[in-house]
Amino acid sequence: MSDRGGAGFGFGLIVGAAVGLAIGFLYAPRPGEETRELLKEKAEEAREKTEEVREKAAEVVEKVRETAAEAKKKGQEKLKEGRGQRRSSADHQGKSGG
């Protein structure tokens, strides 16, 4: 879950930086055409960074799913082992005690 929070923080950081840059460019002393071109470039960079964060988050989610599936499988195996040992122990006690 902390990985998810990290991805959310990264996304928020990128969006916040993009908004801050846009506002800074709007107030910078440049011609309008130059400012618009610079904003387009920065917006594209922000889109690329956002896509990178999304891809990394998807990778983390997939790894978590795989790990959870493995843990579930191991847990089920241990449960079966425990049940088998209980039955074996109960059978042994029934034969020796009876």
Asked if residue 26 lies in contact with residue 35, where contact means CB atoms within 8 angstroms, the answer is yes
Q: How far apart are CA 46 and CA 50, in angstroms?
A: 6
Q: How many residues does the chain have?
A: 98
pTM of the model: 0.48
Closest-CA residue to 2 (of 57, 53, 52): 57
- For the ranges 62-66, 76-80, 90-94, the maximum mean pLDDT occurs at 62-66
Q: How far apart are CA 24 and CA 18, in angstroms?
A: 10
For 65, the enclosing helix (H) or strand (E) is: helix 32-97
Written as six digits, the tokens of 44 are 């594209």
Spans of all domains in the chain: 2-69
Question: For 11-58, how does the pLDDT look when each residue is reduced to its tens digit (9 = 90+)?
Answer: 788 888 888 877 877 777 777 788 788 888 888 888 898 888 889 989
pLDDT of 73 higher than 60 = yes
